[in-house]
Structure 1
């Protein structure tokens, strides 16, 4: 057995080692923290809310959580939601980041506050907002966002749930005409919500008016049982979001009152007259709000994974150098290659998400306050591409961080598998990423046309589409990397346009001939956009962090080009020597990041409780942490002899008869 003094000595050495890493950082940590959270006020709010989770016993991370059944996980999560609501305003957008990043599990109220309320604010009339908003905000009326069906998800226009207006009773008859029309996947539907924002095909006098939202009570106020004519349930276990009650719902000629239709932009009178007003695309407003959350808050999970991987890579030593000293695995170039480009991409996505949040909020305010839709197309395009890019980044980042931690990365106690499980569904939900890239591609083609016919109408972010060629002496500077990334996207967009136009039937060409080229072009826009945001941060916000941020930006830009330079190669805009220069330069920058790696991840200000990892504490002995969990906290070991041993004896008996 290891002696206490020996163990304390080792623990002190590990503590001293990390403190040494922190002291060698070459930038002010607090300035970087403020940049990552969009300002001092936002960072202070994060720390305030994180401190609540750190100090409340209910939110102490339980690594035995994953031994519990899904039913027990759901009940524990519900108990934690109640505890949080006693002290916190879960609907306050200023605290969304710590609310999703810090606790173990996702609160019951997430969909209600992040999707239902924003949809109401955009789609409901002033009278409806007056009637319902107080109940929505104080959780008296709990709702879900029931859009997706078994047979249709991204293809919203072809949803099959119908809402037929009955003139005699002045009611809407909500009906599920077939299995495919069953509402499927809405969070908080399976167990909890009493109301649903149901998207259905509006029909009046046999004429269809498209898909519109209906606010419907679906469970009895007293018993919580589904109302007559409605079937509801949980869809079952899935990858990630174990505590979220994603549900199904079908209607059998269920009758809803006239004012259940959210009617800011479409109204049906008692005698069946349909009146439209405003922009029919306003429905994108609430979807944008949730996609913005995925870009803004959920991107931070990539940083959480990187913090775990970098810290563990400093604790972990493998093999000896010429002086017989074990080597920290972060000192190996291949470990740096796994983590440092991802670290640079994390910073790029965070700075991009801050700009997108400004754009989304501006668009949202213009629509809700002035009925101004001038930013809708731009916001929708950029947000579509960002959601596709950022959600993939977080999932990919979590996976590579897990792999970089070797065998221990596979264990739930590392805190890494849950990030991968919980974040991977985001690639599909709230807009499947391939579809979103195609929506960005459509906007790129539109701006490509404007470059020729109406250049003044092209937004600043898309003026790069006029590029035909660039001449650069040094391919590794930030300015030149931005030019090359823009040119790469411009070439691929023009290639996709040509491919699309070679076929007479444009719809068929889009669907069956040009999709790969279109999605490829769109996928190269966000790296260009991120670099613009990175440069803006360096030039206009950073002070003493300019130098290290410039290094990160160069690594990010180089990595994005090396990952996808197809457009540049098509037009001979890069030669083999320049590609070699890109590779060599990136490697030459790694030692600078190595010196600052711990400080770059710790600038996020994440506590040990938020990291939820036994292999990456701020200080301590990671091996003792793992051993203590396995030997003392793992509930499977509570029985000295497990009941399963009875089956071993039965197996022997079966084998003896063979």
Structure 2
């Protein structure tokens, strides 16, 4: 592990005590969090060493004192390392560099957002022609879909792309102010190219004098000169200004004034326009958004990163920070982590970090499988399920992570509000991801529509066992067939307890199914009262979104459960690790049930006497996990330069670091304000005299 290098440093005695009482091997847990891939661990460690050995990159706290212009100059220096990293370590090294830096890099747009979209949407010929330029940072790409007037409603974007048959070009235009591309990451200063989504206008086959709109389609558009980086003719481009977070990312605007692009710059893996202007449609209408699902996959896969960082900081600080003696006879004040409310603020989010990690791994594999099937034989079998799951998971995981980071900041008290804690910067950036790549109030509705379609398919089938379903929705068939009246019948029949992993998983399956059943009945009742579907849907938005969240939580739990079974059945995993993973799984389940209790009891499936047992068990699992929280967060192996935190550094030198960073800042040695302050004081003094 990389952080072993800090063990020779002087360490806070309370942190040292916590590490010495670990009941499991931190290195073993770290290997599980790296899929037991030693090569991946080696690359991570070398990247961390590169970061911490650089005199500029290793001091992320200095970012807070820089103007935006100076921050951007600094981040360009940090970005300059990427070409060498890619040459030495490949794609794995690039992503580890992004994941282990304190700050966000604008190149992440080229490396992740643009790359995911381009690889999904471009044909093999287009990939061979252009993609290596973006890999080698000769070109820099971005993704221009959102407009000033339209975000979530992609079908209504106003940018147009009209095919000119005579020259075999598309003329792309921003016809209104609200058609201006907006919020485009990496576009404000860096991008040389961008994928522009525009309404595809072709000659109407039935009326040659009219244009027919085929909906939004992606085009690769050059926006800046490769010689002097200036905007090309017909291009108006710039940065949209300061934001709540992600200010090192140059989110930009783009206006296109009847610019022309060749026909082969329509990204045409799934659809095309022939030389004479005929449209070749995709096999599945949603294939056009495959790139967006790819970006969501990356967001889902990295959802644990913010939680891992924030829980590490909060946990370490909470065993060092002491407040109040329980008795006058006590020699020391009590560690704040010993208070139940502090455990409640931190420990559930540590458990979530593991659940989110396993979820990200599972979804990434499912996405890769889907893309492979589509590329090889245009097989879209998995697309609808994957799109529905990506919508629910992106919404739930990003919001849950934001809530977790916020709780961790609050758990650090007043010092948590300081940028020196490392958490406010992290929190502001996490809030950005909640809205980016799909608004969190709209995405769950897509999931619920899909789930309702499965319910309808099952309800109208003569034999539900013959209905083909994906793994993530198999529970709907099981619940529809089930004759169990309550959860006690389930675990009594299996001779287990309500706390058994199988039982806890079953609770979440029934809860999701029951919420869907109730919604389906409410929709049918409303429709029978002559209400139109759109109106009813709008009235039930709250319930609809909640179902999307319930499905996402079940997906997380199933992912956690599958990994738990794998670990418990392995001869290569120690018993202490197996016990720890059981506790973490139980913690995630019980915490979620406690927060969503109404869902679980509303049809009597969970009895009130069992509710009391589950609540007491949650308190108990906090106590079981408490002695191990520092070893657990140490297993994340986050280096000090990654955390950028005075409160969460590995050695626990909280107060020395806080005072040093504060006292040595340039603001304290700057005397430029002395005259102004003296003038104000003197004027106030003379006015009183």
The aligned runs of 1:192-211 (5 Å cut-off) are 192-205=190-203, 206-211=211-216
**Aligned partners of 1:232, 1:626: CA distance in 2, in Å?**
41
Aligned to 2:247: 242
**Aligned partners of 2:168, 2:83: CA distance in 1, in Å?**
39
- Answering whether residue 471 of structure 2 is matched by residue 479 of structure 1, we say no
Cα pair distance change 1:392/1:534, threshold 3 Å: same
**Aligned partners of 1:462, 1:90: CA distance in 2, in Å?**
42
- Residue by residue, what CA displacement relative to the aligned partner does 1:198-254 show, whole Å, maximum 9, x if unpaired? 000000121111111111111122222211211100000001111110000011111
Q: C-alpha displacement at 1:460, in angstroms?
A: 2.7
- Answering whether residue 553 of structure 2 is matched by residue 527 of structure 1, we say yes
Structure 2 SS opposite 1:152: coil
- Answering whether residue 673 of structure 2 is matched by residue 643 of structure 1, we say yes
**Aligned partners of 2:678, 2:457: CA distance in 1, in Å?**
73
The aligned runs of 1:559-578 (5 Å cut-off) are 559-578=591-610
**Aligned partners of 2:339, 2:78: CA distance in 1, in Å?**
42
**Aligned partners of 2:377, 2:682: CA distance in 1, in Å?**
77
- Answering whether residue 233 of structure 2 is matched by residue 228 of structure 1, we say yes
Aligned to 2:683: 653
Structure 2 SS opposite 1:188: coil
Contact 2:303 2:356 survives alignment (8 Å): no
Cα RMSD of the aligned pairs, angstroms, is 2.1
Structure 2 SS opposite 1:184: strand
Cα pair distance change 1:165/1:316, threshold 3 Å: same
Q: C-alpha displacement at 1:102, in angstroms?
A: 1.9
Aligned to 1:415: 422
Aligned to 2:468: 457
**Residue of 380, 401, 406 corresponding to 1:394:** 401
Cα pair distance change 1:496/1:251, threshold 3 Å: same
- Residue by residue, what CA displacement relative to the aligned partner does 1:466-513 show, whole Å, maximum 9, x if unpaired? 426433264332221111111111111111122222333554145422
- Residue by residue, what CA displacement relative to the aligned partner does 1:242-286 show, whole Å, maximum 9, x if unpaired? 111000001111122222211222222333222224333222321
Cα pair distance change 1:557/1:97, threshold 3 Å: farther
Cα pair distance change 1:399/1:647, threshold 3 Å: same
Structure 1 SS opposite 2:213: strand
**Aligned partners of 2:675, 2:34: CA distance in 1, in Å?**
52
**Residue of 383, 391, 413 corresponding to 2:390:** 383
**Aligned partners of 1:363, 1:585: CA distance in 2, in Å?**
40
Cα pair distance change 1:520/1:235, threshold 3 Å: same
- Answering whether residue 158 of structure 2 is matched by residue 160 of structure 1, we say yes
Cα pair distance change 1:655/1:274, threshold 3 Å: farther
Q: Give TM-score, length-normalised by structure 2.
A: 0.89
Q: C-alpha displacement at 1:44, in angstroms?
A: 3.5
| Stretch deviating more after TM superposition (457-466 or 87-96) | 87-96
- Residue by residue, what CA displacement relative to the aligned partner does 1:20-40 show, whole Å, maximum 9, x if unpaired? 211211122222112223332
Aligned to 1:3: none
Aligned to 2:637: 605
Q: C-alpha displacement at 1:654, in angstroms?
A: 7.0
- Answering whether residue 42 of structure 2 is matched by residue 31 of structure 1, we say no
**Aligned partners of 2:324, 2:106: CA distance in 1, in Å?**
47
Cα pair distance change 1:83/1:638, threshold 3 Å: farther
| Stretch deviating more after TM superposition (271-280 or 396-405) | 271-280
| Stretch deviating more after TM superposition (449-458 or 228-237) | 449-458
**Aligned partners of 1:433, 1:644: CA distance in 2, in Å?**
49
| Stretch deviating more after TM superposition (45-54 or 375-384) | 45-54
Contact 1:414 1:614 survives alignment (8 Å): yes
Aligned to 1:6: none
- Residue by residue, what CA displacement relative to the aligned partner does 1:142-177 show, whole Å, maximum 9, x if unpaired? 211111111111211111100011223322111111
Structure 2 SS opposite 1:292: helix
The aligned runs of 1:172-187 (5 Å cut-off) are 172-187=170-185
| Stretch deviating more after TM superposition (648-657 or 37-46) | 648-657
The aligned runs of 1:68-217 (5 Å cut-off) are 68-89=66-87, 92-95=90-93, 98-205=96-203, 206-217=211-222
- Residue by residue, what CA displacement relative to the aligned partner does 1:582-619 show, whole Å, maximum 9, x if unpaired? 11111112222111110111111111121111112221
Aligned to 2:4: none
**Residue of 250, 258, 267 corresponding to 1:262:** 267
**Aligned partners of 2:197, 2:44: CA distance in 1, in Å?**
35
Cα pair distance change 1:381/1:477, threshold 3 Å: same
Cα pair distance change 1:89/1:286, threshold 3 Å: farther
**Residue of 501, 505, 521 corresponding to 1:498:** 521
Q: C-alpha displacement at 1:91, in angstroms?
A: 9.6
**Aligned partners of 1:438, 1:642: CA distance in 2, in Å?**
56
Structure 1 SS opposite 2:12: helix
**Residue of 14, 19, 31 corresponding to 1:17:** 14
- Residue by residue, what CA displacement relative to the aligned partner does 1:297-329 show, whole Å, maximum 9, x if unpaired? 242111110000000011111112332322111
Consecutive unaligned residues of structure 2, counting only runs of 5 or more, are 1-8, 204-210
Contact 1:15 1:620 survives alignment (8 Å): yes
Cα pair distance change 1:236/1:58, threshold 3 Å: same
**Aligned partners of 2:470, 2:269: CA distance in 1, in Å?**
29
Q: Give TM-score, length-normalised by structure 1.
A: 0.93
